[in-house]
Chain A
Amino acid sequence: MTHHYAYYPGCSLLESAVEYDRSVRQVMDVLDAELTEIPDWTCCGASAVESVSRLLTYVLPARNLALVEQLMDVDDILVPCSACYLNLLRVVEDTRHDKKLLAQINEALSVEDLRYTGRAKPRHLLDILINDVGTGAIAARTERDMSGFSAAAYYGCQILRPYPVFDDPRQPRSMHLVLEALGVKPMAWDDEARCCGASLMVTKPEAALASVARILDSASQADAVVTVCPMCQINLEAYQSKAAGYGGPRETVSVVYLPQLMGLAFGCTEDELMLNKNMSLAPRFRAGMRQGWATQGSLEETVVEEA
């Protein structure tokens, strides 16, 4: 069955996280889901605007929800970025009981002749994969033997907190289920939902680097950390050498987006998944991409060759 979604990429998927955008589109295409980008969408305020203006925190994401309601014939919005997802969801959740807030939002939106009614429904990528597409369909599309691959599923903060819509925030399983459907082994670890520091990396790097170091260290046995958020991804991959000074591992830890790994399992090419954009892929991961992960033994030799 073909599902149809409004698509909200969010700003970072046009910039430092283009590989996330590309791989989401690629994988959803393989899974027969149709995405239509919200016409004229604008920034949702990310995780920074709440620190400046309470009203903008609601009005910026609400503008995008209103666009879906007014211009599109679908209600479900696929949102890959966790911060965007939370911002859009907060409007839905908080206006449900607070009619004064809803009126304020609509007063602001009236300058653009827009109106939010509560019909549009933001859905995180993981939610859609688990509940609409289903693990059966994911398993059915998997072409490669991924049995030798171990992944550290990293959920981060904002997809299940504070609104646990589709999974248990204390013990999230949704990404584990996707990984298992691919034939990948999810590693057992404790930091799967621990905060990566988010924008503290820019304002208070010492604090964020300590968190990144800890997460990378506890994930370092896996073949890759798998993320579903551009903020988590950039914090975990771009700051690895700095994090080494805070107790992080000295060796590169591979960090990939979930749809990139799905795409690899589906047999998509590295180009189609923009894997050349990732800022930290260990030699072992590169070798696995080319030769497959089922044959663990020969990988070690390849690493030596490449080095």
Chain B
Amino acid sequence: MRQMTKHQALTITPLPQDSELCELQAMLSRCMQCGTCTASCPNAQAMDLTPRQLWRLVQLGQLDRIFESRTFWMCSSCYTCWLRCPRDVEPTRAMAALKRLAGEHDRASRRKSAFYRAFAGNIRRYGRVQETALMSSYLTSLASPRRALEFTPIGMKMLGKGKLHPPSRAFAGRLELLFRKVDEMEERT
């Protein structure tokens, strides 16, 4: 777990103009730093900063330190922290918002959001998720034959059970209009 030094805590990064970030900060201003979220998180041991420390950095606006952290990428959206937070902070929502902000504003984070982007791309293309196509486009985007091989035994097992299919085109393109509209609306804000 990384400790915050006095010096680091004083370096305040200017915020990019982003309404989503402002909303996030407004929500996290309610955080009283009790650490209940950290104590309830099933993935805390795999995080570098604890959730509580992350909220402090959001309050301070230290985006670069936040983007360096792997903490929000380790959130599995289990909502345990949300259930237990005494100040109604909704930390799970904050984790998702940080994944989006990092994916947009931080070049190094692009790769880490590859799976989520592959997923959205899969829906846009096929209308309904096509699992086999999704996994192959995600593993290709990782450009890591070793990571791809790690999934081979599972793939073989699923193949044996008849659980892998070539992508169905029955709903292909069905959501294209909606995706375009959402793109346009999001660019406006």
Binding site for B on A (CB under 8 A): 11-12, 14-16, 18, 40, 42-43, 45-56, 59-60, 63, 104, 107-109, 111-112, 157-158, 161-162, 169-170, 194-195, 197-200, 202-208, 210-211, 238-239, 241, 276-277, 279
Q: How large is the interface on B (under 10, 10 to 19, 20 to 34, 35 or more residues)?
A: 35 or more
Instruction: State whether A50 and B80 are in contact (beta carbons under 8 Å apart), knowing that A11-B128, A63-B178, A200-B43 are contacts in the complex.
Output: no
Whether A157 lies near B46 (C-beta < 8 A) is no
Nearest to A83 among chain B residues (CB) is B77
Binding site for A on B (CB under 8 A): 20, 42-43, 45-46, 73-74, 76-80, 82-83, 90, 92, 96-97, 99-100, 103, 112-113, 115-117, 119-120, 123, 127-131, 135, 138, 150, 153-154, 157-158, 161-163, 165, 171, 174-175, 177-182, 185-186
Give the docked Cα–Cα distance between A199 and B131 (Å).
13
Residues of B within 8 A of A210 (CB): 45-46
Residues of A within 8 A of B186 (CB): 53, 55
B188 to chain A, nearest CB (A): 10
A14 to chain B, nearest CB (A): 7
Whether A202 lies near B161 (C-beta < 8 A) is no
Q: Main SS of the interface on chain B?
A: helix
Nearest to B162 among chain A residues (CB) is A277
Whether A195 lies near B80 (C-beta < 8 A) is yes
Whether A53 lies near B182 (C-beta < 8 A) is yes
Residues of A within 8 A of B103 (CB): 51-52
Instruction: State whether A60 and B123 are in contact (beta carbons under 8 Å apart), knowing that A108-B182, A205-B150 are contacts in the complex.
Output: yes
Give the docked Cα–Cα distance between A162 and B99 (Å).
19
Residues of B within 8 A of A109 (CB): 178
Instruction: State whether A51 and B131 are in contact (beta carbons under 8 Å apart), knowing that A108-B181, A161-B80, A200-B43 are contacts in the complex.
Output: no
Whether B119 lies near A48 (C-beta < 8 A) is yes
Residues of B within 8 A of A15 (CB): 129-131, 163, 165
Whether B178 lies near A161 (C-beta < 8 A) is no
Residues of A within 8 A of B153 (CB): 241
Give the docked Cα–Cα distance between A4 and B157 (Å).
37
A256 to chain B, nearest CB (A): 14
Instruction: State whether A239 and B154 are in contact (beta carbons under 8 Å apart), knowing that A42-B127, A52-B120, A55-B186 are contacts in the complex.
Output: yes
Give the most central of B43, B127, B129, B180: most A CB within 10 Å.
B129
Whether B78 lies near A157 (C-beta < 8 A) is yes
Residues of B within 8 A of A238 (CB): 154, 157-158
